[in-house]
Every structure is written in structure tokens, then in C-alpha cells.
Structure 1
Amino acid sequence: MNRQRIWAVAYKEWREIVRDRLFFTLAFVVPALLMLLFGYGLSLDVEDIPLAIVDYDHSVESRDYAYRFIDSRYFAFQGYVNNEQALGAMLASSHIRAAIIIPPQFGQRLQAGQASTVQTLVDGTFPFRAMTAKGYVTALNAAANQDTLARLLAQAKGVSLTQARQMIQPVKLEVRYLYNQSVKSIWSLAPKLLMVILMISPPFLTALGVVREKESGSIFNIYSATVSRGEFLAGKLAPYVVISSLNILILWLLAVGLFDAPFKGSWLFFMLASLIYVICTTGIGLLVSVAVRTQVAAMIVTAIVTVIPAVLYSGVLIPIPSLGPTAQLIAHLLPAMYYTNIVVGCFLKGVGFSALWPDMLVLAGYATTLFSIGYLMFHKRPNT
């Protein structure tokens, strides 16, 4: 392969990118913009759930119970409501997402050591948030039960409240969250967004760049030139790999600097793995460009083969073990899952080559296979 001819093709492609404002925007602005939009718009944290309370008892005990929810950071208290009919209207209009109904004689029954039932209404239109809200309510109610039992036991046994708490809870559970101690969803999402954006952007640029040659007819200059198909592909794709490599750095800075995602691993290993992943996704764009003839078709096909795997079969929103057997098989056949393991390992777990080399090896295999297939499918002769 002649380096001078490769450089000439690469320089020509770079000039085309810089001259076309729309293409320049797609190359340099859109990836960072997607990072900002997804980073600020996508959150799995469930906090400040709008809550209203109906207190039919108006006792000291009912107020203490209600304030457990009012003072919690997981609920945003919207006020007391007089009856359940008003709650129905507030839930239907989405003014609130949860409600607590405290029955009459709540405090009297607790003072007598009797059980009392508290009703909870949760908006189930968002199942994930509804189940999380139910978990918050259950946890706060369990804490209230423990305090009530401890108080009654202390009175009956004549012991201190601290001793009573120890008696009703002989085994104390302590939970420690590893790798993401604050359990912030953005710390997990920001690294995975790198995978999503780098799965979408390089194939789009590559597919459009090659297909544009077909639509404009300039591809015939390549057909008649002395440049070989390997030199043409290397020169044609090199600018997109360089642009995507620059986008890796920009996205990394946004994840760490803007969204405060911790980066605990080796930066050199991360960049090397990301470069291999970019070469892999660029190869996807190459295959699309060989298969279609128009830029519209290239955009549609690229969107199908990149967006769906990046979102559904990569572990961004749903862990791979939680998928069905068929979905897990699809995930293992696509490169997105392997790069997700790498970014999560580098950002949150602080692991490097010793733990992630199998994923890196798979990505390298994908890149080699995709470019080999693209090379074999591309011919310096127009299809008739």
C-alpha cells in the first residue's frame, strides 16, 4: 500500500468534511450535544416523589408517622388532604404520585398494642418508579414498626429504649454499596453514554461519507484511479477514526468534569480500548456504505443496526443477566456489551487490562472481521 496515495485520499476526505457545514456539525458537535442531552435528560434516580397524606386520626402518633414521609428526601410533600375523593383527582391529574391514608383511632390502637392498617396509593403508570416508591414506603413503615415495638417493649420490660431496640433486632444488617457508594445513576450512565454515542456517531459518519461519493458520482474517479481499494478504504476511513478519537476525549471530559463520574482505572488502557471500539463501529458504517447507494438509506440502516443494540442489548438500562436467553445471545453477538464492560470497569471499578482483556480481544476481533468483510465487498467496479 502506498502511503502517499492513502494520505491523498485522507486529505481529500478531510477537506470534504471541513467544507460541508452539516457534516462538520455531525462530526464534532452532535456527539457532545448527545452527551449533554442524555446526561441531563436520562436519570434512574427516584427521589422527590410527590406525596399527599390523609390523616383521619389527627393524633400525636399519626403526625409522627406522617412526618417520617414528610421529612424523607425520597418524597416531596404536597400537603394534607381532607378525604380520599380529593386524592383520586390529584392522582389522576398526576399532581401527586403517591398517597398515605391514616385511619381513625390509629394512635389509640398503637397505644393499646394493637395493629393498625395504613393504606398506600401509588401511581403505577411508571412501573419502575412505582415499585421503587413502594420500597421506600415499606422501609419507612418498617422503621416506624420497630420504633413502636421498641417503645412498647421498653414499657413492658422496664428497660431502656436502646436495649429494647437491640432485643427486637438481634441481627443488624449493614449494607455497603461498592464502586458507586452514593448510588448515583449518572455515575453509571455517563460512562455507558460513551458507548452509546460512539456506537452511533462513527457509523453514521462513515456510511454517509462513502455513500456520498456514490450519489455525487465522484466514486467513478476512484474506480478509474490507480489507487487500490485497500488504499482508498484506509484513506477514506482514517479521518473518521481520528475525529471519533477526538470525540472520545471530549466525551470523557464531559463525563468526568461535567457529570462528576469517577474515573478509577488506567487512562491509557481506556483510550486504547476506545480506539479499538471506534475502529469496530467505523467498520459497521463501512458495511452499511457498501450495501446501500443513497444517503437516506444509509441513515435508516445505520440507525437500525446501531441504536437498537446500543440501547437494548448493551446493559445500559437493563443488566444483561436480566434479559431473556434469546436477548442474552443477541447481546453477546454484538460489540456494544463488551465495550460497556470496559467503560464500567475503567470508570467505576478501577480495573484494567488484567480483568478486561477478554472484552478488548473480542472488540479487536470484531474490528478485524468487519474491515475484512468490508474490504472483500468493496470493488473498484460499479455494480450493474
Structure 2
Amino acid sequence: MFFPVAHADVFIPDSEYSGYYDYEGIYTVVGNVKNQNDFALIPTITISVIDDETKITKTLNHVPIPPMTDIPFKLKFPEINSKNPDLLKAELKYVKTEKSLIPIQIIYDKTLITHDDGHVTGRIKNIGNQTVYDPKIFAIVHGYEKYILDVAQNIERIEKIEPGEILNFTIYPDPSVSEPVRFYSCFAPVDTTVIPVTAKKDGGDYDFRYDSGAWYSAAKFDETGTTLSIKGYNSYPLETYANFELPPISGDEKFSVTLNDEPVEFIQSIDEMGFWHVAFKVGPTSQGVLKISGFEKGLPPELPKIPQWIKVNTEWWITNQISDLEFLEGIDFLFEKQIISVPERDVISESQWKIPQWVKVSAEWWQEEKISDDDFLNIIKNLVQRKIIVV
């Protein structure tokens, strides 16, 4: 169920909501969503801008926000051209979800430094007992005359942070910020900042996502449907990264990447959900047209909710080829990816995981397609809620 913006416990403060033209002349809206509830939620933010006499509206599906937490956002409007666009008040809706606080803590000590040129450096620590992959640190950049100058994030990729590990981070404001930076606030660790994109392909929509310190827009396929071009730029003085997540068509695609028609070194891999990843470095203050070639014609088939490797693991577990622990690693993956979610699931060590043998009956029904993916997920969710399965 969605709730309207009038709900006082979820809001965007007027003082933390602003628009500006970035270094590349792209109108950019930044803000901060405050969740003062005792439950997690996923906000949907609708932002409208009056460009001369034209109203341009975009909707942002924000990352999940844990209870009593703020997470900033940034949204770009390349269509806007007027000198003084009118940013309207944002409309905010949300849906409840289950999301624990990310166990990453900003270390507030003398190592957290705002430098003369406006960038900030600091350290983060994983205070939890599980590895966090691809974390990002968001923060609001404040000025002396303007309360909010920008919303910025670390632009150097943090691949993972182990329990107890301390790592450095660096955040730069957009180079268009000319006013001296006064301070940074609302440091927010997040783990799910990917940008959805849709491009027309072979008479339909090809939906994909990317994660990057750079920004990309105007995605389109060529007439053959085999090459995707997209404009990109990194306005920051540091090298950053890009990781494109592409749904497979056959699963046999072999990609190539160019920037301004020059070859780019990249890594192609496939994740546990069956999506291709094309990842590469992005040079400092670089821009141009990125092309990813090697797509097959047609559109991707609908992928199953549960990755195929979990179904294979289930068959091996039923036939005693793998241990209970190895099977439960797959079940834990379903919770990590929020394919299944239950409220207040305790995070415990693998040595405490347990599963009764009679659960194999339900697993065998699913493996033999006597019950659907949804049926199997509901069974697992119910058994975890009742603590019959502990994972």
C-alpha cells in the first residue's frame, strides 16, 4: 500500500531540496528523504520542473531507507534548457519493506576532513558480521550562502568491506559548485544505487541498469539491435568506474566496448541471477559516446524469480550430493537479494544454521515443478518465520 506525502514521518525538508545546472550544463535536482518511522520503506519521488512553459516530470524509485534514517538523492533533467527553471515541490509516496541498517559506520574523528577545494576524505568501518558488497557513501554538501549545494557520493568503487574492516573514501562535489563548501552532512551508506534505463530494441523495450560514479543518458540501439550507444561523462578529477547490468537474450553474448570509437578494456561476467555485467574504468574529466556491441537480436526472455543455480543446488541436496550448509547458502542468497523478506530476521553465523530433513519433500516438489517458484518461496518464508529453518 502507498502512503501520501502528507505523512509527517516521511518527508523532504525544503532546506534540503534544490536544483542547479551541473558542470556539463545538465539541470540536476538534489534532495534528502527523511524516514522517521520505526519501519523501513521504499520511497517513490515525483519531481516536476517548469521549463519555460513546459512541465517536465520524472519519477525516482529511491533505495530502501531503514527506520530513523536519511538518504539523499540526485536526479538529472537533460531536457531542460531555460535559464531559470522553476522546481516544484516534490511528491512523495512510499511502500513499507523490510530493510535493516547497513552495518557501515562513518568514523567521525580527525580523519574526516573537508579540504580547501571542497572535497571530503574520511573512513568507514563495517561494524556488522557480514561482508557488504559495493557500498556507497552519500552526503549533502553545504555552502555558506546556499544551505545545500549538491548531493555527492564516493566516486572510487569500494568492491567490498569485510566485518571489522576500515576503508578510506573520497567524495567530490560537482565541479559546477563555485561557492566555498562549508561542511558535509547526512552521510548515508547505501548498497543498492543502480540507475534503471530503457532503450527501444527490435520493436520493444530493453530494460537494463548501471552503477557508476559517471552519468549516462540518451541510450539507443542501432537498426540491427546489436549495438547499444549511450552518452556518458565523468566531471570529477578522479578515475571512477562503470558497471552495466544487462539481461541476457541467449546467454552466449560476447560484448565489446568503445568510447568515442576507441576500444575500452572491460570485464564481462555473469552474476548469480543470470545477468551479464560489463565493467570498466572511467577516466577523470572524460566524456563521450559509449558503445556496447555484441547483443543478439530480439528481446530477453523473462528470467525466473529463483536463479537456476539454486535449483541445481536443491537437486544435489535432495540426492545428498551437497551438505545442508551448502543448500542453506542458496536460501540465504534469496534473503540477501530480497527475493524473500521476513521482518526482523536475525543475522547469525553459519555455524548456527539448521534445517530439518523433512523440508526435502517440499524442495523435491519444487525441483520436479509440482509447485511454482512462488509456492516454494512462500514455503521457505513461512519456515524461516517459524524458525523451523534458521539461516
TM-score category of the 2 structures, normalised to the smaller one? under 0.3
Where relative contact order (Cα < 8 A, 6+ residues apart) is larger, the structure is 1
* Higher strand proportion (structure 1 or 2): 2
TM-score under structure 2 normalisation? Answer: 0.23
TM-score under structure 1 normalisation? Answer: 0.23
* Higher helix proportion (structure 1 or 2): 1
Larger radius of gyration: 1
